[in-house]
Amino acid sequence: MLEYYPADDLTIAVLTNSEGPVSALTIAGRVARAVLGIAPTAKIDQPLSEAEIASFSGKFDSAEGPAILFGEQGHIRVKFAENGPSLPLQYLGDGAFVAGPGTISKCYMKNGRSQGAAIYTEGLFMNATWREAGN
């Protein structure tokens, strides 16, 4: 993993020779946060209203495959197959969700509905999802 932060004149290189429980991307992100003095994202997990749940719910497509977002007891969950297991998303407010350790998803809203999201892991853009037509 090679990361460059031009505004801070910082380059981070992480080399690994095996697939362990902590990826090179995670290590680079932790080093960058420590060097730049960036605190971890606070997990707020605000409950959502029915209207907010409806605005974020739907089927989304990405280069990594489909994602289905749906509401459950005031929260949003995501699954990657119709009959697959679901994972909770913690709502931070302002259309942002924590999707896992070091992973944040920021929604693009239009007319009160999420049209898509950019997904960042340890500060690096990793993927984008877009609402499927007709849902």
Give the model confidence (pLDDT) of 55-112 as tens digits. 999 999 988 889 999 999 999 999 988 888 999 999 988 898 988 777 889 999 999 9
Sign of CA dihedral 64, 90, 98, 114: positive
127 plus 73 within the same structural domain: yes
Residue span of the structural domain in which 25 resides: 2-36
10 plus 63 within the same structural domain: no
Whether 45 maps to a domain, the answer reads no
Sign of CA dihedral 24, 22, 77, 80: positive
Give the model confidence (pLDDT) of 14-66 as tens digits. 998 877 777 888 888 888 888 888 777 666 677 899 999 999 999 999 888 89
In one-letter notation, the amino acid at residue 68 is I
Whether 43 maps to a domain, the answer reads no
Nearest to 90 by CA among 58, 42, 38, 123: 42
Which residue shows structure tokens 């994202």?
A: 41
Output the pLDDT for position 41.
63
In one-letter notation, the amino acid at residue 54 is A
Whether 42 maps to a domain, the answer reads no
Output the pLDDT for position 43.
62
First-to-last alpha carbon distance for the chain, in angstroms, is: 37
For residues 132 and 68, the answer to whether their CB atoms sit within 8 Å is no
pLDDT confidence tier of residue 128, bands split at 50, 70 and 90 = confident
